[in-house]
Amino acid sequence: MNLIEVNSVTKFFDKSERKSALKELFKTILRILNLSNKQELKLNSNHFVALKNISFEIKKGEAVALIGSNGAGKSTMLKIINGLYGPTKGSVKVHGKIQALIELGAGFHYELSGRENLIFSVSMIPDLNKEEKEQLMQEIIDFSELNEFIDFPVKKYSSGMKARLGFSAAIFANPDILLVDEVLSVGDFKFRQKCLRKINEIREKAAVILVSHNLQTIKLFCSRAILFEKGSILFDGDVQQAINLYRQADSSDKEKPIAKAHLGEDFVSNELISNLEVFWCDKTKKPKKTFKRGEPIYLSFKITFKIEVGEGLLFSMPFWKDDINISSISSEYNECNLSLKSLSKGVLLKVDNTFNSGAIDSCFILTLKSEYLIRKILNPFEVTEYDARIHGVSLCSFEEVKFVGNH
Amino acid sequence: MKAVLLDLYRFRSFIAYSFLKNIKSSSRNNLLGWLWVIVMPLIPICLYIFLQEIGFLKSSNQMARSFYVVFGITFWEVFSDSTLKVMSAPVDNRDILKKKKIPFFPIYIAALGQPFLIFLIRLPLMYFLAFKFSALSPFALLLLPLTFLPFAGIGLALGMFLSVFYCYIRDIKNVLAIFFKYMMFLSGVIIPVPSVFQGLKFLELNFIYILIDNIRLYLFNGQGSFRLTFVILFFLGLGISTIFLAYKVSIEEGNLRERL
């Protein structure tokens, strides 16, 4: 049974709300006064297309991930399904009660206690009698594990406690369709597992749509993925295939959000350095983006210094995968002395490829004593093969042996 | 249209709690707490009564000064506060409306909570004045609490219509707040200005002033019963059109949510 049917949905937004406000207002008033039935369906230069002719269906029991880079249209799609936005063209049919986990804690008043805010949140769930509401309140408080603090004002809560309260208040609405938008990073690890277990419980009798950039969670949780790119569906089907396509699209993207989140913006000391070339390549210094697991990875870099630099030059390079710092190399620990002469001629470094499959982010760092000279986030490279749920830096081989002897 | 009324029933506790939430949050961190909620609506009334009693403001010849002021200002403020609160309700609740699919009509009704509270706080004062001047007939005595409804009803209908404007153009709130404030002084709601300055006679055409004056006069000496019949019929019509308007606005909710 289809719980959600999205038929040829297109969505326009106005680029400049201020310019179009009067025009839009006039049209809305005409529609309210029954003087016009026209909807704006023609695309003009003032419009931004958020979604283009999107169609899909979601059945009961399915957990579907919407993936794609920022601005691809995932959240807009979620809001249209939730009924918060109307589609410009097309239609969305929803059969059942929807609950959305979007921006937890929306509407919380910080002066009021957790309990008072919960009463307000529960009052937003229609068709419950007094007893059902009281029972629900207790379940929410127990789930959030905030019994001790529930009568404290929310302004005294830590951000983790607020997220716990918000998640618990939203998850207990007993929905037929659950929409989850980037909120699965709430609280500590133990609470996150509890949340996933709860969503899994709901999934058995409902449909779940998950929007997340955490590909590991998507892999573990979803049975189907829809890849969005610039408002269109690029792929709809197997999760791993969708993730691979997403990574390919993402590695060509100039933005590197994971490393940037850890280290901030690029930095090059222009007073000290005039030329900088750094890229991933093969042993012939030909730029390369994809490496098979085990195949050596080469890093080529060339730097020209404007001043004379003595000792104390240090090179290091951290690596990330799926937002986790998985490894690093350093001239200090690897006992590699970089000479200034060789740096200006160009250096080729060979890095052991012990990484698991996936996109690997990295940052090229060069320091002189305590001062940063270069901090440049590199384009991610892709390690292929081994499609398994693997955790850790490297994959060790093992085999089963027969035990011979006495226990 | 049935769905609009059904929404009111389904979200009845939301309406009640959002009203309570506003009062509770406004009284937190105050030493006097709830006392402010009671004192604040009485302060302007006491000031106007004082100014009229010392003869600084001219009062009507038709009724006692304090009666004229208290009933006038209360009815006017129920109307103006209801309009402004209902008008800005979707924007004030955008935190909720952009994340949860709550229909607009319960939010509009919840916005009437504050004008209703102000009316309730002033009601004992209104009864006190009525007894003091032996003004109210037994029927009018029963009618007094219901006088909230016509003014809140107009405020609701007007506010709902204007909320569509407010979602697009925010200037309207300031313009309206200034307009309401000046019209209260100029159209004879608390000072019979038009009867003193003939040049301002046209301001008596202010429709809300006509309603206030009719109801006030009827409550004071039982006059104007024909007018009261007209008022009641008018509000029956207004009630029906309010529900129709709520239905029409509910169709546009998707577009309005995007503008919040």
Could you tell me the domains of chain A?
2-253 (3.40.50.300), 261-384 (2.70.50.60)
User: Residue A120: which of B18, B254, B258 has the nearest Cβ?
Assistant: B18
Give the residue numbers spanning the domain of B55: 2-259
Mutation pick from A12, A84, A88 vs chain B, by most beta carbons of B within 10 Å, is: A84
A57 pLDDT band (50/70/90 cuts)? Answer: very high
Decide if pLDDT at B124 tops 50. Answer: yes
The mean per-residue pLDDT over the stretch A30-46 comes to: 67
* pLDDT, greater one: A37 or A347: A347
The mean per-residue pLDDT over the stretch A258-272 comes to: 68
Q: Distance, in angstroms, between A217 CA and closest chain B CA?
A: 23
List the single range of A23-37, A332-346, A357-371 with lowest mean pLDDT.
Answer: A332-346
The pLDDT value given to residue A226: 92
Cβ separation of A124 and B252 shorter than 8 Å?
no
**CA distance linking residue A246 with residue A253, whole number of Å:** 11
Cβ separation of A124 and B96 shorter than 8 Å?
yes
A256 pLDDT band (50/70/90 cuts)? Answer: very low
Cβ separation of A32 and B29 shorter than 8 Å?
no
Decide if pLDDT at A80 tops 80. Answer: yes
Cβ separation of A126 and B256 shorter than 8 Å?
no
The pLDDT value given to residue B112: 92
Q: Distance, in angstroms, between A182 CA and closest chain B CA?
A: 14
pLDDT digits (tens, 9 = 90+) for B141-173: 788 888 888 889 889 988 988 888 888 888 888
A387 pLDDT band (50/70/90 cuts)? Answer: low
Mean pLDDT, all residues of chain A = 80
**Which residue of B lies nearest to A13 if distances are taken between CA atoms?**
B258
Decide if pLDDT at B6 tops 50. Answer: yes
Touching A: B residues 167-186, CB under 8 Å: 168-169
Number of domains into which chain B is organized: 1
The pLDDT value given to residue A205: 82
pLDDT digits (tens, 9 = 90+) for B74-119: 999 999 999 999 999 999 888 888 777 788 889 999 999 989 999 9
Residues of B in contact with A98 (CB under 8 A): 101
pLDDT digits (tens, 9 = 90+) for A186-240: 667 778 778 878 888 888 888 889 888 777 778 878 889 999 988 899 899 888 8
Mutation pick from A28, A112, A119, A125 vs chain B, by most beta carbons of B within 10 Å, is: A28
Q: Distance, in angstroms, between A257 CA and closest chain B CA?
A: 26
Cβ separation of B101 and A111 shorter than 8 Å?
no
Burial (Cβ within 10 Å: 0-12, 13-18, ≥19) of residue A180: buried
pLDDT digits (tens, 9 = 90+) for A133-176: 888 889 889 888 888 898 998 888 887 888 888 888 878 777 88
Distance of CA A350 to CAs A74, A141, A298, A353, Å? 39, 54, 5, 9
Contact residues, chain A to chain B, C-beta under 8 Å: 13, 17, 21-22, 24-25, 28-29, 31-34, 82-86, 98, 100, 102-103, 106-107, 109, 111-112, 116, 119-120, 123-124, 126-128, 133, 153
**CA distance linking residue A114 with residue A122, whole number of Å:** 12
The pLDDT value given to residue A225: 92
Query: What does the DSSP assignment read for chain B?
Result: -HHHHHHHHHTHHHHHHHHHHHHHHHHTT-SSTHHHHHHHHHHHHHHHHHHHHTTSS---SSS-HHHHHHHHHHHHHHHHHHHHHHHHHHHHTHHHHTTS---HHHHHHHHTHHHHHHHHHHHHHHHHHHHHTT---HHHHHHGGGGHHHHHHHHHHHHHHHHHHHHH-THHHHHHHHHHHHHHHHTTSSS-HHHHSGGGGGGGG-HHHHHHHHHHHHHHHS--HHHHHHHHHHHHHHHHHHHHHHHHHHHTHHHHHHH-
ipTM over 0.85: no
List the single range of A342-356, A390-404, B91-105 with lowest mean pLDDT.
Answer: A390-404
Strand partners, A371: A368
Cβ separation of B10 and A127 shorter than 8 Å?
yes
* pLDDT, greater one: A51 or B5: A51
Residues of B in contact with A29 (CB under 8 A): 164-165
